[in-house]
Structure 1
Amino acid sequence: MRISKLRYFFPLGLLISLLLDGIFSNIFAASFFQANASIESRLIVVWLIMALCFGQIDHPYFWSIVAGAIFDTYYTGIVGPMMMLLPLIVYLTLLMFRFFTPSFIVVLLICLIDITVITFLFYGIFSLISYTDVSLTTVIGKTLGPTLAYNLAAFVILYLPLKKFFEYFSQNRSA
């Protein structure tokens, strides 16, 4: 029986992208978090979307829940928001791909839609529990725009390597 190496590489890449989100936010904190702009690194969303588009992933909902729980525990201290949002992103991505053929533009637009959804819902959840008191217009102007620009650049840089990675390891190569 052949077992895909992606079975092992996908969770490892998910963890690495989760850690890179925090590492980049820490290293570039002076640039990411300013009075007029706040950038949220969402490499974990880019990894998930690319995996769903070009890879054959076993149990994407399970892995998104695990990654969300790790994110919540490590970065926010409130277990639940990202643990619910990442599986929702997986669902939305799979739903959108039922109607489109994966290409650079389609995957880019889905990535931007998913990052927008996750940013708004993350803000909404934190507003509901009174963890933030920033207005929606401030979130749109100072967080969403810079976040989309940063993650768009990351997506453009990572698109081809990740596409080749997922296509290569989804060919059921033996472990």
Structure 2
Amino acid sequence: MRISKLRYFFPLGLLISLLLDGIFSNLFAANFFQVSSSIESRLIVVWLVMALCFGEIDHPYLWSIIAGAIFDAYYTGIIGPMIMLLPLIVYLTLLMFRFFTPSFIVVLLICLIDITVITFLFYGIFSLISYTDASVATFIGETLGPTLAYNLAAFVILYLPLKKFFEHFSQNRSA
């Protein structure tokens, strides 16, 4: 029986991307969270999209639920939003990926759609439980736009290294 090294690297990378989201938000808090804008780092979504598009991932829904639970417990203190949203992102990515062949533009657009969906639904959930009172227009202009711009830049920087990583470890299997 052959076991992929990606079986071990994928969850580790998922945890690292989850931690990097918090680390970057903390390190660059003065730049990310200003009066006129707020940027949410979504490297975990970039990692998931790249893994689903270029890797052979076992149990992506299970890993997304685990990552969502860690995110909720550590960052929000409310168990539930990311536990529901990350598996939804996995589903949407796999659904969109069935209709397209992976290329830079296709994966970029899938990633931007996923980040838009997760950020907008996160806002909706937090509006429902009165954690935020920002209007939709304010949210789009001050949070969604800057969040997409930041994560677009992160995607462009990470695309080639992550693509090579997932392709290498998905093709090379060891006994």
- Tell me which interval the TM-score lies in, with the shorter structure as reference length: over 0.9
- Which amino acid counterpart does residue 28 of structure 1 have in structure 2? F
Structure 1: runs of 5+ lacking an equivalent: none
- 1:134-149 alignment runs, 5 A limit: 134-149=134-149
1:66 aligned partner: 66
* 1:11 match: 11
Match of 2:88 in 1: 88
d(CA) in 1 for partners of 2:98 and 2:76? Answer: 33
Deviation at 1:130, TM superposition (A): 1.0
- C-alpha RMSD of the superposition: 0.7
Q: How does 1:1-175 map to 2 (within 5 A)?
A: 1-174=1-174
Identity across matched positions, percent = 90
Uncovered stretches (5+) of structure 2, i.e. residues with no partner: none
User: What is the CA–CA distance in structure 2 between the aligned matches of 1:132 and 1:145, rounded to whole Å?
Assistant: 17
1:109 and 1:71 map into 2 onto residues whose CA distance is 24
**TM-superposed deviation, 1:169:** 0.3
* Alpha-carbon displacement from aligned partner over 1:91-142 (angstroms, at most 9, x marks no partner): 0000001110010000000000000000110000011111111111111000
Using the TM superposition, give the Cα deviation of residue 168 of structure 1 relative to its aligned residue in structure 2, in angstroms.
0.3
- How many angstroms does 1:89 deviate by? 0.2
- Verify the 8 A CA contact 1:56 1:170 in the aligned structure 2: yes
What is the alpha-carbon distance in structure 2 between the residues aligned to residue 142 and residue 113 of structure 1? 18
Aligned length: 175
SS for the counterpart of 1:170 is helix
1:172 shift after superposition: 4.3
Q: Deviations over 1:24-58 (max 9, x none)?
A: 00000000000011000000000000000000000
